Amino acid sequence: SYKLTQPPSVSVSPGQTASITCAGDDLGDKFAAWYQQKPGQSPVVVIYQDYKRPSGIPERFSGSNSGNTATLTISGTQAMDEADYYCQAWDTNTVVFGGGTKLTV
């Protein structure tokens, strides 16, 4: 079955740029999405269809997807961005989540 691989953790200093990767076979041929989850809360989508931001998501969140890798980029990272981040893709009629990345600010 299809698999998405993320680094377990990423650290970034406040104000710097954080990049979280998500790897999967020919992931660039699928739509990738990214979720932010804070402790005790339901996940919230921050990027969908590779690079689109839902209303209410700050512009500092951006996404890209090409080849075998999708990337979530957070520019000017703030303390409030500290959370777990999950990538997600659809493979035919099924859904796959990455293992998650803990972002420490």
Kindly state whether residue 73 participates in binding another protein, applying the rule CB under 8 A.
no
23 binds another protein (CB under 8 A): no
Tokens of 20: 């979280």
Interacting span for another protein (CB under 8 A) from 21-29, 57-65, 75-83, 95-103: 95-103
Nearest residue (CB) to another protein, 68 versus 97: 97
Single out the residue of 3, 26, 67, 90 in contact with another protein (rule: CB under 8 A). Answer: 90
Burial 69-84 (b: 16+ CB within 10 A, else e): bbbbbbeebeeebbbb
Taking alpha carbons only, the member of 60, 67, 13, 69 closest to residue 36 is 60
Binding residue (CB under 8 A) for another protein from 28, 45, 57, 75: 45
Stretch in the footprint of another protein (CB under 8 A) among 11-19, 60-68, 70-78, 96-104: 96-104
E strands along the chain, which residues? 9-11, 18-23, 32-37, 44-47, 61-66, 69-74, 83-91, 94-97, 101-104
Answer yes or no whether residue 100 interacts with another protein by CB under 8 A: yes
**Total number of residues binding another protein (CB under 8 A)?**
25
